[in-house]
Chains A and B, each alone.
Chain A
Amino acid sequence: MVASDLVDRVRSLLAEAFELPVDGIPPDLEFGGIKQWDSMGHMEIMLRLEAEFGIELDTELIRQLTSIPEIVAYIEEKEK
């Protein structure tokens, strides 16, 4: 998958989780950047990432994956 496609896929995932238009999710968005991305919003994203990409996250990754670029980089690495 091309990197930009993956960024858009993650943006769409966040948009669905937060019930926002994709345009409201900038590609460099990070935890706390919008009010929906709070602690519970973060966990909602983590659950959706697991389901969408078939990955298993532990608490260390939950702490690390706090921005779209970090999420994208992690998935790219997993899919290599």
Chain B
Amino acid sequence: MTDTLEITPALPIPEFLVGEVRSKLAYVDETIRKAEVAISGNRITLHLEQAVDAALEAELTAKVQRVVTAMVKGAFKPKVQVLEDYLDRPVLYAEDPNTELLQRGEMHQETNGVYTLGPLVTRLMEYFEAQFLDLADSFGAPPYRFPTLIPAQYLQRVDYFRAFPHSLTFVTHLREDLDVIDSFSQHAACDEHGLNTAPDSFSKIQALLSPAVCYHLYFALADKPLPGGKLAATSVGNCFRYESSNLVSLERLWNFTMREVIFVGPKEYVLDNRETARNRMRDVFERIGLAYRVESANDPFFIGEFRKQAAFQSAFQLKYEIRARLPFKDSTLAVGSYNYHQDFFGRSLNITLEDGSPAHTGCVAFGLERMAYAFLAQFGFDVEQWPAEVRQAVKK
């Protein structure tokens, strides 16, 4: 019996895939508490919730090898393109902000990946939100409000289930059945794993918690010509991506807030605006003095889709991430992204331009919690030392 499992991957994991494979291992089995992949790519270590016997060990090993083979075999090596590199900007702080955030009551964990935030973090988020609203204004992008729930049928129509099944968060309710509801009201109780209610008490899944903001706009525009031939819009919303044991402090939340500026129209309109947005945000980050880099990236597609979809995104430069420096761990964190979806949503949802061709779409998206977190990781908690405009904003 062992609670740590060492596995030699069936194929050596190239360095550019080490992080992607490690993050996917969290979904291999519920017994895995933490997974590590050596940077050499030749060793995987699984830390398990409890000791397992030889049979379960063999089963876990086989599942891990499935992940490795699916992701590594025939993987296309990405060529990372760096558009901006300001990682060497001086920072004021090198400590782990989590310690201070907890001590100050600025961060309180409700459950894995779900946090309430205190006034300092909230005001910082509001400061960044104001910058993103200015960006939206500069494009004349009016505000929209979108729901937190999204119909299952919507996500099916854009093939989300195949691309990101691991990160979905489902919404349900008790079935319309008096006995079921009575029984629930009398017997429902939680243990450390959750509610004790039988799964058949719940309705079929009709809705999920929305994983992104812009999808709602695309569905509102579906199955008709795009009015005026082009559109800019902005919205902010709660987004949900379940990341299992990869959920870590404010760096990786299950429930987070995303502000998006969204463009729909001809290819050139979308690409030009994405580039203009990047240039305008570069000025904002320069004013603040944020240490960051903008580089090509890919979405965290699930294992079966990863190889092809990630390579396509990378090849056609569809996604660039704003990666802010985290000095305390000598690492970076994606705080936003500049995205171009080509005509994927236009074709999938039948959003047409005047000539009948499918509309192209793109968005720039910012994670507000991550922005505040990265700022605190670089500038610390002594507000007097902060850049003047941030200091003034949080003191209002």
Contact = CB atoms under 8 A, between A and B. Distances in A.
Interface of A: 38-40, 42-44, 46-47, 50, 57-60, 62-63
B314 A59 contact: yes
Given A46-B76, A50-B74, A59 B315 contact: yes
A59 B308 contact: no
A60 to B, nearest CB: 5
A59 B79 contact: yes
B74 A62 contact: no
B77 A43 contact: no
Contacts of B316: 39, 62-63
A58 B79 contact: yes
A42 B313 CA distance: 12
Contacts of A46: 76, 311
B122 interface: no
B76 A59 contact: yes
Interface in B286-310: 307-309
Interface in B80-103: none
Contacts of B74: 47, 50
Contacts of A43: 307-309, 311-312
A43 B308 CA distance: 6
Interface residues of B, number: 17
B309 A59 contact: no
The 10 closest A-B pairs by CB, nearest first: A62-B315, A43-B308, A59-B315, A63-B315, A59-B314, A39-B312, A59-B79, A59-B78, A58-B77, A60-B79
B77 A62 contact: no
B76 A57 contact: yes
A22 to B, nearest CB: 24
Contacts of B308: 40, 43-44, 47
Contacts of A47: 74, 308
B312 A40 contact: yes
Given A43-B311, A58-B79, 20 more contacts: A38-B347, A39-B316, A39-B342, A39-B344, A40-B309, A43-B307, A43-B309, A46-B76, A50-B74, A57-B76, A58-B78, A59-B76, A59-B311, A59-B315, A60-B79, A62-B76, A62-B311, A62-B315, A62-B316, A63-B317
